[in-house]
Amino acid sequence: MGFSNRQEADKTVVEVDESRLDASLATPFRDYIFDLIGQGQKDLIVDLSKVDFMDSSGLGAIVAALKQVGGDGAIQLAGPQKSVHDLFDLTCMDKIFKIHGSVDDALSDSSKH
């Protein structure tokens, strides 16, 4: 349960080890990411593969993180399950985030550039 992070190449992979990213976890999750950003880790990949439900509050926390890193960082999303992917489709999250099928995809994609 909870959140953890690890370094992969020059990126920080944030793993969300929760099945629901909803109103009850939005604030702790935002605070966790803000701490990482505060420590200077501004190139983040959020691994969502364990999340099978996200609501508007969970989405709000991810967008808050994007606002917090600002122009000198990046947040990418990886491994959304179908229901989370449907939410991303409905809300056009691909317009403001890079969304990858998995963390490996995200890492290999960025090493190409």
Partner 1 sequence: MDVLIVEDARDQRKLLSAVIRRLGHTVHQAEDGVEALAVLTERSEISIVISDWMMPNMDGISLCEAIRDGRFQRYIYFILLTGKTDRDATVKGLSVGADDFLRKPVDYQELEARLKSGARVISLEQSLELKNEQLAKTLTSVESDLESAAKTQESLLAPPAVIQGVGFDWHFQPSQILGGDMFGYHALDDEHVMFYQLDVAGHGIPSALFSFTLNNLLMDMDAHTTMLREQISNPPYYKVRPSEDVVASLNQRFQTTAETMLYFTMIYGVIHTPTGKVRMTHAGHPETLWLRPADGELHPIKDTGLPVGMMPGMSWSFSELTLKKGDRLFMYSDGITECENPTGEQYGDQRLRDALYGGRQMPMKEMIDKVWSELSDWRDCNTFDDDVTYLVLEYQGG
Binding residues vs partner 1 (CB under 8 A): 23, 26, 30, 34, 55-57, 59-61, 63-65, 67-68, 89-93, 95-96
CB 108, min distance to partner 1, A: 27
Residue closer to partner 1, measured from CB, 89 or 104: 89
CB of 97 to partner 1, least distance (A): 10
The smaller minimum CB distance to partner 1, of residues 93 and 103, is found at: 93
- Least distance CB 66 / partner 1 (angstroms): 8
Cα(2)–Cα(29) distance, rounded to whole angstroms?
A: 9
Coil, helix or strand for 100? strand
Sheet holding 2-8, edge to edge: 2-8, 11-17, 43-47, 74-78, 98-100
Q: Is residue 74 exposed (0-12), middle (13-18) or buried (19+ Cβ within 10 Å)? A: middle
